[in-house]
Chain A
Amino acid sequence: MIHSGSWLAVLVFLAIVGFTLGLSYLLGKQARSSAGYFAAHGQIPWFVNGVAFAGDYLSAASFLGICGMIAFHGYDGFLYSIGYLAGWIVALFVVAEPMKRLGKFTFADALNARFESPGIKRAVGVSTLAVSVFYLIPQMVGAGVLVQPLLGLSHWIGVLMVGAVVIFIVVSAGMVSTTWVQFIKGSLLVFFSTVMTVLILQRGFTVDPSPPQPQTITTTAEGQVLINGLPKGVGPGEATLQPVGSIARLPGGETSTGPLGPIAFLRTLQDSEIVLWRGATTKGDDGSTTTTFSPKVTPGSQVLRPGESPKFKGIRSENWFDKLNFLSLMLALFCGTASLPHILIRYYTVKDEAAARKSTIVGIGCIGFFYVLTLYMGLGAMTSGALDVTDENMAAPLLARSLSELLFAIISAIAFTTVLGTVSGLILASAGAVAHDLIGSIPGVQLTDGQQVRIAKLASVVVGVIAIVLGILFQKLNVTYLVGWAFSVAASANLPALVMLLFWPRTTKQGIIAAVIVGMTSSLAWILLSADTFTQVYGLPAEGAWAPFSQPGIVTIPLGFLTLVVVSLMTKPRQPA
């Protein structure tokens, strides 16, 4: 589709972004010291911190990626919702209170509490940077996706805008403003997602009687884009892609259901037939590439079962590597949440362990409720008649547009602040890793409080620029899938060290350093050598990939634990004679 801007959307968008920036400027005065900049002086109320957890965690992957995946492939996107939420159980029962008790500003502080080792700080600082940058890519991709339907601008402009605004927020006020931005965004996201779900249920389902026609996109050897054989555009002799997403048949031959309850909505869809779209790409002799999107009438029972999307086909495969790939992803989602640096540093913003625990419970409530809504929003988008076949990341904003222009404006602006909130947290975690962990551990370097904050702000600018570049380069990848990889790297690098430090008294500093380095490098190497990276990033055939399956967690998380145990046993302190 060619997206045209909407003045209403632009006004709402500017109002929310302007409010966010104003808040950051006002709160900037509270972040002059390192305790204020990195940890908001530990004075954030637990309820606000809990909602801010939701604001931090419900990223572009959750809102745009999951909804898009459900809208295009059905139930499989909901597997991410389940896995992302399950990870919070590890955070609450294993990590929350010890993190608050042991740490000060960064994740490295907690791991280093017993040892005072510069080596731990350096290793964990590097892993924090690696995980944060990996996680930043899908957020920035999501930012670009949002700006297209909202303002009618190119993807790269959206990425640039988010980068610039986030750098301003983080540089101006640090953790105080980041927390309040995340609190506001988390509240708005959950509230308006509820509104959208209620409207979806009120609308119910209606059969689209017109038979859908295949659509083609051709890119000629000269780079011209043709839609159904005509130049792309809205003028005479030009063509655009038609919106899709419809019901082919309802139970009992009805043409419309009217309003439905939450259970009736799912039951009706289960017994209906839905038009899904599948793309196939062919190369012409003249150097052109044509992707044909064909409608496929699919039973609802098939749409609502796991294993229908290309990414989750392993569930129904007889190939063991495909099954291992799925197990590996679900393990990484379970273990990854409690290993994400930008989530972990939020435990330092409250006053004590009880507040850390209570804020996690609030976070679980908000996040869990939102993830239930993702199923309704995704399925609503699937049947909204408003989707763009070329970009599943746009499903949620386009669903909102099908309900109301005002809702579209609000949802787009909230989605934009969704990206702002998560990216702010990630950049702040990276800045803390650079200023506090990496530079602070160089022998002979003693930074004053003010110098630490200045270096952190400089690091924020550098990481922000890197994020902008990567967000433009990785435009075509599904944001949820990218986040799955970030979880694998985080879980492999950070979780073994954190868990063993808490539960195994024989853990040594060498064991921690080795586990972090081995977990991080092995998971990164596995991803870079996987079939998905070969096909989607390098443009090479999948058969050339070295890794037997794409998700590394099932190998690299146990490898991190094993490394820590072996190295700790080899380096245990000698008992005094």
Chain B
Amino acid sequence: MHASISRIGLALFLLYTLLYGGFVLLNVFWPKSMEATPIAGVNLAILYGFGLIGAAFVMALIYGVASRPAPPSREQL
């Protein structure tokens, strides 16, 4: 695996861990915050949960695109 790809993977992993950790800690220490309905009358617990699931897929796609082998340069052709 190319070093820069590893760095992207690690950065995305840390970002997601922060998002997930934030969700868990909010639930444990500020459970009332999950009852707020900031968008479209849907509470934060559901919005954050959907957000985590969506973020996982988006980050996976970013990683997949970033990991594609580079097209051969003109010298290599």
Contacts and interface: CB of A to CB of B under 8 A. Distances in A.
Contact of A94 (B13, B24, B40, B67): B13
Interface stretch (A83-91, A278-286, A387-395): A83-91
B7 to A, nearest CB: 11
B64 A368 contact: no
A326 interface: yes
A304 B20 contact: no
* Most B C-beta atoms less than 10 A away, residue of A93, A360, A365: A93
B27 A368 contact: no
Nearest to A365: B57
B43 to A, nearest CB: 6
Contacts, number: 114
B42 A267 contact: yes
Interface residues of A, number: 43
A263 B59 CA distance: 24
A85 B52 contact: yes
A208 interface: no
Interface of A: 75, 78-79, 81-82, 85-86, 88-90, 92-94, 97, 263, 266-267, 270-271, 301, 304-307, 315-316, 323, 326-327, 330, 334, 353-354, 357-358, 360-361, 364-365, 368, 371-372, 375
A326 B26 CA distance: 12
A305 B56 contact: no
A266 B23 CA distance: 20
A86 B28 contact: no
A412 to B, nearest CB: 26
Nearest to B13: A93
Interface string B10-29: 10110011001001100110
B35 A89 contact: no
Contacts of B35: 301, 305
B3 interface: no
Contacts of A326: 24, 27-28
Nearest 10 A/B pairs, CB to CB: A267-B41, A93-B13, A93-B9, A361-B60, A368-B53, A364-B60, A330-B24, A89-B16, A361-B64, A266-B42
Contacts of B50: 372
Given A78-B46, A305-B35, A334-B17, 12 more contacts: A82-B52, A86-B52, A86-B56, A89-B56, A263-B41, A266-B46, A304-B43, A306-B34, A354-B67, A360-B60, A361-B63, A375-B46
Contacts of A307: 27, 31
A88 B56 contact: yes
A362 B40 CA distance: 30
B77 interface: no
A85 B45 contact: no
B57 to A, nearest CB: 5
A93 B6 CA distance: 8
Contacts of A354: 67, 69
* Most A C-beta atoms less than 10 A away, residue of B12, B40, B56, B61: B56
A92 B20 contact: no
Contacts of A330: 20, 24
A272 to B, nearest CB: 12
* Most A C-beta atoms less than 10 A away, residue of B28, B50, B59, B67: B28
A359 to B, nearest CB: 11
A304 B56 contact: no
B41 A75 contact: no
B70 interface: no
A547 B42 CA distance: 38
Nearest to A101: B1
A330 B28 CA distance: 11
Contacts of A365: 57, 60
Contact of A90 (B13, B46, B64, B67): B13
Contact of B28 (A270, A315, A372): A315
9 contacts: A82-B52, A86-B16, A89-B56, A93-B10, A93-B12, A270-B37, A306-B34, A326-B24, A327-B28
A93 B55 CA distance: 14
B20 to A, nearest CB: 5
B42 A89 contact: no
B60 A306 contact: no
Contact of B53 (A82, A305, A360): A82
A307 B34 CA distance: 10
Given A86-B56, A93-B10, A364-B56, A306 B42 contact: no
A57 to B, nearest CB: 13
A484 B11 CA distance: 28
B1 A315 contact: no
Nearest to B8: A93
A301 B35 CA distance: 7
Nearest to B62: A361
A323 B60 contact: no
* Most B C-beta atoms less than 10 A away, residue of A301, A305, A323: A305
B49 A89 contact: no
Contact of B27 (A89, A90, A306, A353): A306
A372 B69 CA distance: 32
Contacts of A323: 28
Given A89-B59, A94-B13, A316 B31 contact: yes
B20 A334 contact: yes
Contacts of B12: 89, 93
A306 B4 CA distance: 39
A193 to B, nearest CB: 14
Contacts of B67: 354, 357
